[in-house]
Amino acid sequence: MEVISENINETSVLHNLSNRIKRIYSSQQDFFASGHTRSYAFRKAQLLKLKQAVKAYEGRIAEAMYKDFRKSEFEVYGTEIGPVYTELRHVLGSLRGWMRPTKVNTPLPFFPSSSWIHREALGSVLIISPWNYPFNLMMRPLITAIAGGNTVILKPSEISAHTSSVMADMIREYFDEAYITLIEGDGEWVGKEMIMNYHFDHIFFTGSVAVGKKIMQMASTHLSPVTLELGGKSPCIIDKEANLDFAAKKVAWSKFVNAGQTCVAPDYLLVHADVKEVFIKKLKNAITGMYGNDPKQSPDFARMINDKRFRIVSSYLADKNQIIFGGDTDAGDRYIGPTLLEGVDPDDDVMREEIFGPVLPVISYRDNREVFDCISRNPYPLALYVYTNNRTTARFFTENIRFGGGCINNGLIHLGNPDLPFGGVGTSGIGESQGRHGYETFTREKSMMHTPTWMDAPLWYPPYKDNIKWLRKIFR
């Protein structure tokens, strides 16, 4: 009887959620059709309202992320809240210019017409965000969707449950659900319910490659266009001409922030053999300098999001002979310490799967061909990092390896610049986000040609007679 009761209750919950989705979708269609979202004044007001909401909820966001990840307040502000403010400031300062029609050239045969490109809102959009940076990766696409003049349904990951709940409260308090709303629930069920049953004018998904494929397949049912921000094994190259002290600190920070649960974290190191031993020593010292001799006690080192991720990442440590630093774990605390591996095999899981945790394999190389061979085993990384003081070397790697974006002598920070597009290539993603690139993702170009009536060339009208000779002259 208890099992039957639970099944009935679950069916009732799903039925109610399905009805809510139907109601919200319908109300957002009506709201967009009303034209309220089209004006610059409206969009600016909503962006300012979002900024006000973020400011009011800063404390609750930090508390929620501590519960989800054990993140420090500094890390929450630096990687989650701060970038949202940066995006808001950038978009608010640029939006009026982005919305202006752009004049383009018009071919001579169509004189005296003039040609313009207008950007218009798409309509109803769906944004699905991941658990690893749940606030940042939800709010920044939302900012450009608002700037584009759309209505928005937000679907956060249920895995980062505390942060999801706080975002739901914030959106509910500051926005009408007919304009912007957030729907919680099991991602597999909710996502399928929305994408399979309703046409969205755009679906923006950030998450794994496997789920991205499912999203794209479901979206094809209604020909909904998609942006997919996925992942991939992002290599980090340490050239023999790198500033090793500088590189060690940057690698330690960019790899172990959020306990390595970053889609563009360095996934493995390719270190030139001439400097490998020296660099490893400096990297160990950098890690210890940041997190102490016992990172578990550090207030600045995060935890795995859940038991499943703990089990997956800790499985990479099965061969103790590969561990050259760290390797300590605590299942009860979901803790995995900063770990360096050496002697990994290309066919090991740690080299075939995106790690998404504080485990960093170190591989040595002698020539550039070895670098290409290693990277080509997992094509199209989302990011690439090269540490070198040789401009020719930096240019060689960045121009000859296909990747989404990256840095020379730094890590992760390219995501913080809203003037740079963020996106993958091939299996690491489709489409772009951030700043103007995000605005263009959530709008479309509408082509318009305007013809004044003071002149009307008779060339185009029958009877054509000898007009063909003039037509040839004009087009040639």
* Cβ neighbours of 119 (radius 10 Å): 18
Per-residue pLDDT band for 467 (boundaries 50, 70, 90) equals confident
- On whether the CB atoms of residues 129 and 155 are closer than 8 A, the answer is yes
> How is 61-83 classified by DSSP, letter by letter?
HHHHHHHHH---HHHHIIIIIHH
What pLDDT is attached to residue 26? 97
Locate the domains of the chain by residue range.
14-230+429-448, 235-421
Q: Yes or no: is domain 14-230+429-448 CATH 3.90.1300.10?
A: no
Question: What gap in Å lies between CA 431 and CA 438, rounded to an integer?
Answer: 9
Task: Please give the backbone phi and psi of residue 125, each rounded to the nearest 5 degrees, phi first.
Answer: -120, 155
Listed residue (88, 92, 95) closest to 53, CA to CA? 88
What pLDDT is attached to residue 343? 95
Question: What gap in Å lies between CA 66 and CA 249, rounded to an integer?
Answer: 25
Percentage of the chain exceeding pLDDT 90: 89
Q: In the predicted model, is pLDDT for residue 9 greater than 80?
A: no
Average model confidence (pLDDT) across the chain: 95
Structure tokens at 175: 């926005």
- On whether the CB atoms of residues 176 and 83 are closer than 8 A, the answer is no
Question: Catalytic one among 75, 80, 87, 229?
Answer: 229
- What angle (nearest 5°) sits at the alpha carbon of residue 46, between those of residues 40 and 50? 145
What pLDDT is attached to residue 318? 95
Per-residue pLDDT band for 8 (boundaries 50, 70, 90) equals low
Query: Between 469 and 1, where is the model more confident?
Result: 469
Per-residue pLDDT band for 6 (boundaries 50, 70, 90) equals low
Question: What gap in Å lies between CA 168 and CA 158, rounded to an integer?
Answer: 12
Question: Catalytic one among 87, 177, 193, 263?
Answer: 263
The answer to whether 229 is a known catalytic residue is yes
Structure tokens at 240: 């023999």
Q: In the predicted model, is pLDDT for residue 142 greater than 80?
A: yes
The answer to whether 374 is a known catalytic residue is no
| CATH fourth-level superfamily of 235-421 | Aldehyde Dehydrogenase; Chain A, domain 2 (3.40.309.10)
What pLDDT is attached to residue 4? 53
What pLDDT is attached to residue 472? 86
Per-residue pLDDT band for 461 (boundaries 50, 70, 90) equals confident
Instruction: Please give the torsion angle defined by the CA atoms of residues 90, 91, 94 and 96, in that order, rounded to the nearest 10 degrees.
Output: -160
Per-residue pLDDT band for 207 (boundaries 50, 70, 90) equals very high
pLDDT in tens, 223-251: 999 999 998 899 999 999 999 999 999 99
**Average pLDDT, integer, range 366-395:** 94
pLDDT in tens, 325-359: 999 999 999 999 999 999 999 999 999 999 999 99
Query: Between 109 and 255, where is the model more confident?
Result: 255
pTM for this entry:
0.94
Q: In the predicted model, is pLDDT for residue 1 greater than 70?
A: no
Q: In the predicted model, is pLDDT for residue 56 greater than 90?
A: yes
Q: In the predicted model, is pLDDT for residue 5 greater than 80?
A: no
